[in-house]
Amino acid sequence: MATYEYTPLDKERSEIRLITLLPPRFGREIHIKLETTVLSDSRIPQYHALSYTWGSKDNRVRIWVEGARGGSSSLDVTRDLEEALQHLRYNNGRSRKLWIDAICISQHDIPERNHQVTRMADIYSSATRVIVWLGPKRDGSGTAIEALTALGSEMQVDWPTTTITPLSGEVYDEWVKKPLPFTSETDDEILLSIANLLKRAWFTRLWIWQEVRLAENKVELRCGHDSMPWDNFRNGILCLQQRDEFKHSKPLGDLLDRILPIISYDRKPLDWYSILDQTTGCQCTDDKDKVYALLSLVHPDDRRSLEPDYSKSTSTSDVYKQLFIHDMEEKHELLLLSHCELGEERIKGLPSWVPDLSQPKKCDTESCSTGSVYRTHAVVQDNSVLIVDGLCVGEIRKIETIPLKASTDMSRQALQIWQLTEPKLKEKKDYVCGGSMIEALCCTLCCNEFSEIYSPSMQSYPDFEKSQDWLLGLTDTENSVYEDYQSQVLHATKARKFFTTKEGSIGLAPAATKSGDRVCILLGCRNPMVFRPNKSGSYKVVGACYVHGMADGEAFSGPMPSVWRRVWYTFPKAGIRRWVLINNAANKMQVEDPRLESLDLPSDWRLQRSRPYEEYENFVDISFSNSNNVTEETGVWYDPRMSLEALKKNGFHLQRERGVQLQKFRLV
């Protein structure tokens, strides 16, 4: 039997291929038809798009493609896909229209593959339905689907704020404490079945992020012949994740935390910094897809010069470097620098300033964010060296391994925390950047991730005062448990070491950090960074770090006035979260740094309310012109008064206080 030969698609006509899945006539044999059709704004065919796991390419099965004029040819597909087709075909004589990437795209035609990947957003958003295929029925999957369907149908969720409203009319705080119908000891198998469902390989796939997000509410989740609406699944998982009895349970609690980013979304575009942070560790066949699979989820400006290229002439390193440079030049920031981690697993020859997206991040860098972002003037030389401006705020003198392990019980963890902090508290010194050492230690161990830095407050995060009191009360003989704080410490210290600088600062740094490494704060980077100097005068990027006392731009602007505090604020209408400054005494909230209010904005800049919701302000360059020389307004989050030129003109805090000089770092 001849192998099916693809006919080329006409890009100019916006053509795609669709499958007609024929009803069973020959036992298990799968028979399909393949047709070419137009998918455009004016012509949208009816079809279902499949979201599934490819499975092993080594275990392939033959299916049959029937020709328009009789005769047939064959295609080889993975056994996982063949099994999905067995369950998806109708038994009542009807055929079914499907779009499936492995069949509808000629995988060996690189130009076609490049182009069709750019159309994935159109294909999944235009589908009549998106079917999520989790695999065959097993390990209590039917029980899990039944339980999640029932639970998810009892509530509505506002996803930008993850606020649950019970349909019964009950107050949420009371409703969420009520026993679930399947949390008794006799129903433990239901919780086990849910955990088994969440372990399915589909939840680790990278491509699912766009496949389900772009489909809005047209998603159906299927396991064998059991199915449920995607919205009910999302609701049910969120409800379980928010309940106290599951937060620290194993393995369900960890699985719920891992699944939450997949289901917590709306239609608003993301930036590369956020989406790469959320998808780290997700699986894909081609490492280039760490970028290409996410193109449809970022703002059009953030993907403008990024075109899929699966040819051998473009390496994975080229793709990652192109992304970094594009994001730097588009935003005038170094946001992706904090995704870099030094390690032996890195792609050979990849500069240390380019994140190796093929490897999962070991550390959560979002918690290290300073909240203060300044415009970068970084430049790339010879396609291999990044030259950045910044300050060296410390040289690491002492490194300590943090012995915490997830498998250890909470009381044992409390003892380990006491063993780490007790010698430092014995010194009874004030912290070098101000405040007490107990405050510095308390904040450092969890990267300052307290409920108070969020608005609305995050109830799952620890309370600062309670955490500090708990830390002070620890002894080697009596170790009470404060689960919220201990869990946050465990998360923040994962793959990190505790460090002390020669100048007296303390912090958490990547596990690869060594004595002699430098702590640096850069223009355009949200995170303090650890650099390793070499004999040539250049540096390697070790990774992002948390250094206490540098979270609010103190190195450049000095201490934050005590009446102001920085919080992650969720704007309910826009559905976004960003750093703002709050003055409770004056009942004020603003994005403008109060330390810079005495400085004039450059003549072409102003603060303007965002559109269309007008909930917050952005700095706007009113002189920006597009290619047609039509003046348009473009908002940015960095303060134009914190440019390199402005710093040189106005001076900065550490230069005045300690004589620390602004310098250029050559990163290799």
Confirm if 130 and 218 have CB atoms less than 8 A apart: yes
Nearest to 274 by CA among 205, 335, 210: 335
Confirm if 563 and 527 have CB atoms less than 8 A apart: no
pLDDT value of position 61: 93
Q: Give percent helix, percent strand, percent coil of the chain, each to the nearest 5.
A: 30, 25, 45
Confirm if 413 and 248 have CB atoms less than 8 A apart: no
What letter does residue 9 receive in the DSSP assignment? Answer: P
Confirm if 25 and 57 have CB atoms less than 8 A apart: no
What letter does residue 455 receive in the DSSP assignment? Answer: E
DSSP lists the bridge partners of residue 508 as 498, 546
For residue 663, the SS3 value is: strand
Per this entry, what is the length of the chain?
668
pLDDT value of position 407: 65
- Cα separations in angstroms, 47 against 21, 210, 215, 507: 11, 18, 13, 54
Cis check: omega of the bond before 351, within 30 degrees of 0:
no
Residue ranges of the chain with pLDDT lower than 50?
625-633
Q: How far is CA 66 from the centre of its chain?
A: 43
Nearest to 162 by CA among 177, 174, 172: 172
pLDDT value of position 197: 98
To 10 degrees, the CA torsion angle through 558, 563, 569, 574?
Answer: -100
Distance CA(395)–CA(218), nearest Å, equals: 54
pLDDT value of position 631: 35
Could you identify the residue written with the tokens 């049910």?
236
Distance CA(604)–CA(430), nearest Å, equals: 44
pLDDT value of position 183: 60
**Helix crossing, 252-263 with 188-198: angle to 10°?**
50
